[in-house]
Structure 1
Amino acid sequence: MKRFASLIVLISLLVGFESYAQKNEMDVEAAKAYNEGNSLLKAGNYEGAVKQYDIALKTSTDYRIYYQKGIALKKQGKLQEAEAAFKSAIQSNPNFDISYNGLGGVYFEEGKYLDAADAFKKFGELTKNKTMKDKANEYVARSLAKLAEEEKSDGKLDKALEHLNEAIKYYSLDAAYITLAMIEIDNGNFQKAIDATDAVIAMKNSSLKGAAYYYRGLAYKKLNDSAKARENFELAKKDPQYKKLSDYELNNMK
């Protein structure tokens, strides 16, 4: 379940504005600083980019400046400042879709998963790009799945189930199905747990199939179907992460 840690890279959508700001959209000095900031951002000089964006903001409150500043700040790990920049971009232009994506990415890294889901939902509503809409739905699901993990840890199983079921409606996320299976086993809903693991096993590229076989094995064990339980534990042990757990279950079934 630790795979979420690296997923935030997907959430940062750096959109470089290749076309330079027109004079009728920004004053000359702001446009000059903005363009210089973009060049520094592309070169990886994030601190220098922020300085240029701040210069541009002295004479212009254009939403694009705030957005690019947010990207540069996020690249530096300055999440609170990046959050403020993306919020300013949204205040300046509430219909600028990718600002919500940037804000959602910051919220995700800050662990504010409900806020992240709301931001990504707004991104999905506004974007006209189908690929980005699909990504927005995926990010909503990932945020809700992380929220459900926290709620499960806090013993709030009903709330966790609510968010997992919502997550799956947005995107068929393997991690959400695994957490769903775990909770359904705890709740004694073994067939529902099996259905959840089946969804993961049917996925072509999921890296969580070992987990799916393990929890499906547990569900069949609870249903007193030893043959199917053993079959699934044998499949699960091929995943190094679940080998010890599966061997333990298999040894106890002898």
Structure 2
Amino acid sequence: MKKGLIIALLSCTSYMYSQGNCLIYPEGSNERKACELAHQRENLKQGSRESQIMFDSILKINPNYAWAYMEKSVAYLKRGLITEGLRLLDKAVELEPRYNLTYRAYWHFQNRNYKLCIKDLERFYALPNAFIYEMTPGGDKDMRILLGMSYAKLGNYEKGIETIENCLKSYKREEDFGLTDYHTLGMLYVKNKQYKKALEIFDKQLKITEDYPDSYYYIGLAYKALNKPEKAKVNFQKAKDKFLDGYHIRNGYLCYKVYYLDVTNELEALTD
């Protein structure tokens, strides 16, 4: 997604500039010393023991340096030490919510804590200086998509659909859409029993990519609900074929993941 990558880079650049411009601090101040030391981390591998020691040194000089808490948390979160990572990230959010709320929300989503994800994202988008096109850390998905999925996971499909619809309406060009954004909306339409709308959205999804087996699975479910078993069977078979294709797109998020067994079960049920 061109826009996602550009925005992610712009977001990172803006954030690193605000944290890394040491000249904004008085010469000789602890803030200036901590900032100058932070620049040295570019020579260290992320998550290494040396980098963690450096972050501790930075925080000893300036215990209110939000950037250092956030960076220190990354190693813990990526290694599955969620409690330790979030404890550090909580401090970063406390000090600078604008730059850290969405990152914490992302980890809440990944760990299926949808209530806290919603809480962080609602707080973020209510900020007067919030950047509306905020992306996930990899730059592949708009955080508003995660917000919509979080509403849906808590049973509020209408709110989830509305959130994602508004997100997609804000895009100006086809190139702005993520690889599976239409899929996510179509999936929620199926969950909300709006099957005809789901099929309309999946038509758009397939114009972006035909390599996502999950899409064919949900198209199959929509046709099945509309009492069109032959069309349902065709799409379940396409989903099965895509799963067997080593180049298919995999679901990188933990929300409504489709498995190969789900597809074969549907096929068997229609065959019987």
Shorter-chain TM-score: what band? 0.5 to 0.7
Alignment coverage as a number of residue pairs: 222
Q: How far, CA to CA, are the matches of 1:232 and 1:109 in structure 2?
A: 29
- Give % identity: 15
Q: Does the alignment pair 1:169 with 2:161?
A: no
Q: Which runs of 5+ in 2 are unaligned?
A: 1-7, 169-180, 244-259
**Aligned residues of 1:177 and 1:199 also touching (Cα < 8 A):** yes
Q: Which structure carries more relative contact order (alpha carbon 8 Å, separation 6+)?
A: 2
The reply to whether residue 251 of structure 1 matches residue 254 of structure 2 is: no
Asked if residue 79 in structure 1 is aligned to residue 82 in structure 2, the reply is yes
Q: Distance in 2 between matches of 1:247 and 1:144?
A: 30
Amino acid at match of 2:271: N
Indicate the SS of the match to 1:202. helix
Q: Deviations over 1:162-213 (max 9, x none)?
A: 45324423545323532541x34xxxx4xx1242243133124356753333
Equivalent positions of 1:211-230 (< 5 A) are: 211-230=214-233
Measure, in 1, the Cα distance between the counterparts of 2:241 and 2:140: 33
Between the aligned partners of 2:39 and 2:75, the Cα distance in structure 1 is 13
Q: TM-score, normalised by structure 2?
A: 0.61
Q: Which has the larger radius of gyration?
A: 1
Change (3 A) 1:117 1:207: farther
The structural deviation recorded for 1:73 is 1.9
On the 8 A contact 1:237/1:244 being kept in 2, the answer is yes
CA 1:239–1:23 in structure 2 vs 1: closer, same or farther (change >3 Å)? Answer: closer
Q: Relative to structure 1, is the Cα distance of residues 169 and 26 closer, same or farther in structure 2, using a 3 angstrom cutoff? A: farther
Q: Report if the CA contact (8 A) 1:217-1:232 is conserved.
A: yes
- The answer to whether the 8 A contact 1:30-1:56 is kept is no
- Once residues 69 and 86 of structure 2 are traced to their aligned partners in structure 1, the CA distance between those partners, rounded to angstroms, is 10
Structure 1 unaligned regions, length at least 5: 1-9, 152-158
- Say which of 48, 51, 54 aligns to 1:52: 54
Q: Does 2:145 correspond to 1:141?
A: yes
Question: What SS does the aligned partner of 1:214 have?
Answer: helix
Query: Are the counterparts in 1 of residues 109 and 146 from structure 2 also a CA contact under 8 Å?
Result: no
Q: Distance in 1 between matches of 2:96 and 2:122?
A: 17
